Amino acid sequence: MGNFLRLHKFPLLLVITGLLFYSSFGYSLEREDFVKLITLYTGLFFVSWKLIQLEKVNFWFLASIALLFRLIFIGAQPVLSQDFYRFIWDGKMLLAGWNPYLYLPQELIEQGTAPISKAAELYYGMGKLSAGNYTNYPPLNQLIFALAAFAGKGLLGPVIVMRLVIIAADVGVLYFGKKLLEKLGLPRHRIFWYILNPLVIIELTGNLHFEGVMVFFLVWSLYLLHHKKWILSAILFAASVLLKIISLLFLPLLIGYFIKEKKGVQSPDFKKLFGYYLIVGLTVILGFLPFLSPTFFSSFGASLALWFQKFEFNASFYYLVRWVGFQVKGYNIIETAGKVLPLIVLAILLGLTFFRKNNSTERLISGMLLGISVYFFLATTVHPWYLVTPLLLSIFTRYRFVLIWSFFVMLSYFTYSNPEFQENLWLVAMEYVVVLLWFVREIYVNTNNKKMVVAGK
């Protein structure tokens, strides 16, 4: 209660500025206006950083402001992403009793057999790229889409429902993230590096991306795992997979967490490890079970393959590989690179699994952060909202490069400021040079610090 008595000291000017900037983002910004977009975002980044710096001991004030910033978007239609049209389409398909994984919106529109209302509006809203490919959103996502579609025939009702689900997930992240920070002996205000980060507010609440719901289940799972409640942790981990398949990247790293030491010898607790994997596997299978059919695997697999072998956006090392491919082969080698780069990621993940100790919650989360960051460094497509997951993981570690990345990644929106959707590779280079230099620096510093601790210096 004492913190509330400090209201007269609270930087109201920063709060008012944040409210005005988020309102402009939600209701008057055009995606093509890159100058306005990056100016607003820079201002909001400063506002968030300054609020945390000035009021980090005032937890409930910051939590209230974070909620208020999100509620500004409640009636706004996403302006930086068209994905929500596909979300509503999939939800309506499910409510109509049709399996959304088996039908292309483009084919249903051309054949005039779409079983949903507002089909043409949703089709043109989602764009040809989405309409011409099968959905790749896992079952728990589809359930949320159906819940949203149930809210009304227009767009506003479903948008509001999805937004409320995402805000509720952020509240959950705030709750369990704070508790996990406290259990690890870390400052609880670190949770606001995530909750007040404009990337999180804009890309999740504003643009309706569901990475925030995925990380809610993930951080809840990690909290329970820290408390040795591994059965419920496994169920919640599976829920994160049923939101976003990318959570599967973290499974190998759990091998090190279930290592037990007996008489000076370390060996995996295979019983718990196998049990954890079994629960995750069975829960994921049960989630997909209602959607399975003879053609499900081919359609869903084809959709997932697009992200490795067809789509390119805001990549780093892949663009260097592509340039080399043009010099050597004379054409875009994305199909080959898209097959090789995941194998490199897998090799690095196995290295983090077997050559790095992940036998504590802190080290496990650090391994997860490094693993998913390497994945994005080597990916062919890195949209801004993808960084939500490593951003959350980073607050439990010594690494801050994702905070830097969460600012520079918005430079990628320059692509939409021209009719040809042509990326500015100088801006892409600026983003990754800064982030990678910061990343390498932190790896070097943290490695040296560990050596000094071991040496007793």
Torsions phi, psi for 208 (to 5 deg): 65, 50
DSSP assigned state of 261 = E
pLDDT of residue 453: 45
All structural domains of the chain with their residue ranges: 2-455
245 contacts: CB under 8 Å, gap ≥ 6: 138, 304
Q: For residue 221, which of 211, 212, 238, 233 has the smallest C-alpha distance? A: 233
CA atoms lying within 13 Å on the CB side of residue 161 = 20
What's the distance, CA 337 to chain centroid?
Answer: 23
Helix spans in 268-400 (H): 270-288, 296-309, 317-328, 334-354, 361-378, 388-394
What's the distance, CA 252 to chain centroid?
Answer: 19
Predicted TM-score (pTM) of the model is 0.93
Whether 189 and 62 have beta carbons less than 8 Å apart is answered as: yes
Sequence-distant contacts of 431-439: CB under 8 A, at least 24 apart: 431/314, 431/405, 432/316, 432/377, 434/404, 434/408, 435/401, 435/404, 435/405, 435/408, 436/316, 436/377, 438/400, 438/401, 438/404, 439/373, 439/399, 439/401
Q: Largest alpha-carbon pair distance within the chain?
A: 73
Task: Output the CA–CA distances (angstroms, integers) from residue 3 to 8, 196, 377, in the order listed.
Answer: 11, 19, 42
Q: For residue 26, which of 40, 12, 43 has the smallest C-alpha distance? A: 40
* pLDDT average per 10 residues of sequence, the chain (457 residues): 50 93 95 96 97 93 97 95 96 96 95 93 94 94 96 91 98 98 97 98 97 98 96 98 96 87 60 94 96 89 78 92 86 80 90 89 96 95 97 97 98 91 94 96 80 48
Q: For residue 369, which of 344, 345, 343, 402 has the smallest C-alpha distance? A: 402
Tokens representing residue 112 in the block: 């005039």
pLDDT of residue 1: 45
pLDDT of residue 300: 86
HEC-encoded secondary structure of 407-455: HHHHHHHHHHHCCCCCCCHHHHHHHHHHHHHHHHHHHHHHHHHHHHHHH
**What is the distance between the alpha carbons of residues 383 and 314, in angstroms, rounded to a whole number?**
7
